[in-house]
Amino acid sequence: MTKIAWVTGASSGIGLALAERLLEDGYTVAASARGVEALESLAARRSGHIVPFPLDVTDHDAVRAVHADIEQRLGPVDLAVFAAGSYKRDYAKDFKASTTKAMFDLNVIATAACLETVMTPMMERRRGHIAVVASVSGYVGLPGAASYGATKAALNVMCEALYPDLARSGVQISIVNPGFVDTALTRKNDFPMPFLISAEEAADLIAKGLRAGRFEIIFPWKMAVAIRFLHALPHRLRFALTKRMLR
């Protein structure tokens, strides 16, 4: 029986790499993103195995329509991976509420719309797996990530809160917390990125975590250790370290 995965943010970065990686686990992938040409190119490379479903996830009516189209054309969604998101650095000197709102609209509210759309049918079927891509920046307030880190913290709390309800209904949910991954977004950074890994490595680690049924998939392990250590420090010591990260 064919398994169906729906991946948003599938035109680039982690979403793209994961869409291709899931083929190795026997999925037919419904790939969604705003980049129509990139989706069509991906589908052409993986003819019959990846099916493009163009989507702007901030359009909540479109989210519902695309999900319905996927289930009608391909079948029930077994795995939904919500990887669409954006990243922009902001410091106190250039902090703007409009930037925060735009990032929350895409990273959090749009993800919530996707969650709302898939959770009910999965709970009714008493099966399914949902994965939400967040970031280790949701653990600690890092300089330059005031808005971005806040959105990722919100996703972590959201998924943790939903876990018991979903588990009772036979549905799994996972939160994915990557460290630095080599993508078009991170290539804009003008600072050293410790423990940087490729999108393909990230996709492989995510796929392994999903197969294992883990709630949190955090990687690479060196970054996981570092960020958890930083989070555990008293504020005085933590700020002494984060001040050194200022540009």
Q: Could you confirm whether 163 is annotated as catalytic?
A: no
CA-based torsion, 152, 179, 185, 14: positive or negative: negative
- What SS3 class is residue 212? helix
Structure-block tokens of residue 152: 């990722």
Report d(CA 28, CA 75) in Å as an integer: 10
Given CA atoms 56, 58, 62, 67 in this order, what sign does their dihedral have?
A: positive
Backbone φ and ψ of 53, nearest 5°: -135, 85
Map tokens 């555990």 to a residue. 232
Using the Cα atoms of residue 237, residue 238, residue 243 and residue 247 in order, give the sign of their dihedral. Answer: positive
Q: Among the options 27, 87, 139, 148, which is catalytic?
A: 148
Q: Which residues of 171-208 are buried (b: 16+ CB within 10 A; e: fewer)?
A: bbbbbbbbbbbbbebeeeeeeeeeeebebbbbbbbbbe
| CA end-to-end span of the chain | 53
The CA distance from 114 to 122, in Å, is 13
Q: Give catalytic residue positions.
A: 148
